[in-house]
Amino acid sequence: MTAQDTRPASAAEEAEPPPTLSDLRDRALAVLDPAVRDFLEGGAGDETTLARNRRAFDRWQFVPRVMSGLRAPSTRTEFLGIPLELPVLTAPFGADELFHPEGQRAVARANAAAGVAGIAPEAGSSSIEAITAAAPGAPMLAQLHPMGPPENFRAMLDRIVAAGFRGVCVTVDCPTGGWRERLRRRPVDLSPVISGNYTAPDTVAPEEVFGQLFDRTGTGVWGWAELAEIMRDQPLPWMAKGVLTGHDADAAVRAGAAAVLVSNHGGRQLDSTPAALEQLPEVVAAVGGRAQIALDSGIRRGADVIKAIALGADVVVLGRLAVYGLVVGGEAGVAHVHRLLREECTTVLTLLGRGGVRELTRDAVREVTW
């Protein structure tokens, strides 16, 4: 099936906004082509990690303080020097025009209006320059994969700096794609919607353009030393995305990372790994305040955001949740996601008796022991 055959109908954008994030997810999945729905919702292997990401949030209970005397809790924070109205980034999901014709350009505009930052994908439908042009002046990060010839990586870094990005998100957990059985059963041809940053003559087949991203010919899998050497000479702060252990978090910081993104790629890479939230305390301890920390994988509501921050994350990263908004309403749909998240986060903070996300500490949550 080709990407052009699977874009959702625009009728979904004409309905009233869903009242909750779970309703928004249901509406998005209802209008997606089954193959695209599998691409979005599926995970690796038996999808045990995919399910574990959600169950991990149920292991933590809130510990409220009543009669706190606090008013109007704040959701404001900062990440890599970027001020945020909500402790949220949107993920660098590629093939974005599968979900809406405006793809990451719509996401960028919604983020800018909400005071939220996004990460532009390397394998996106639009070039990184087109994404920054969609929301001029809005702070964003750009994704890079440490693979292939180093000169290609450096060329993309130069483009990222020139386009005005505020940071780089280096995705370290994708030396190859995961074993995704849903896609083997119902494949989607992604090449027409992920070539935004990889131009080629008209005579070059789309799959060869796609191959530029994952071509590691003669280079093997990179190590931290190679990445550190390249990133040392560029001017932007960078984040290592896809870290699950204290060992790798320490290695990332030693390599120069200003932030670590605790993530199992939403359960899409290696099955039977721990949930990202389960590993967050270990990573926080290993980093020891030397870098900022983000978390993705499993975030579905504002309460999840608050739990992650109480456990040591500075921000969370939205992948599928942002896609649901994009499917349902394009820019307005993503803005609706941010609005619902802000309202729920504010409600939870008020009921917890905490004055803001930057004041959250581990004593706001308690691990369930049964």
Q: Which residues are catalytic?
A: 265
- DSSP codes of every residue in 287-298: HTTSSEEEE-SS
CB neighbourhood size of 22 (10 A)? 12
Identity of the amino acid at 240? A
Residues contributing to the annotated binding site for FMN? 92-94, 143, 171, 241, 296-300, 319-320
User: How deeply is 8 buried, as exposed, middle or buried, from its count of CB atoms within 10 A (0-12, 13-18, 19+)?
Assistant: buried
CA distances, 55 to each of 24, 45, 157, 277, 304 (Å):
20, 18, 37, 10, 11
Q: Are strands 117-120 and 88-90 parallel, antiparallel or unpaired?
A: parallel
> Angle at which helices 320-352 and 302-310 pack, to 10 degrees?
70
The distance from CA 282 to its chain's CA centroid, rounded to whole angstroms, is 20
Q: Are strands 365-367 and 60-62 parallel, antiparallel or unpaired?
A: antiparallel
The distance from CA 150 to its chain's CA centroid, rounded to whole angstroms, is 24
Say if CB 84 and CB 141 are below 8 A apart.
no
d(CA 52, CA 9): 32
Question: Phi then psi for 142, rounded to 5 degrees?
Answer: -125, 140
d(CA 295, CA 237): 17
Q: What residues contact residue 172 under an 8 Å CB cut-off, 6+ apart?
A: 146, 227, 240, 241, 242, 243, 248, 252
Residues contributing to the annotated binding site for glyoxylate? 180, 263, 265, 268
Q: What residues contact residue 18 under an 8 Å CB cut-off, 6+ apart?
A: 24, 26, 27, 328, 336
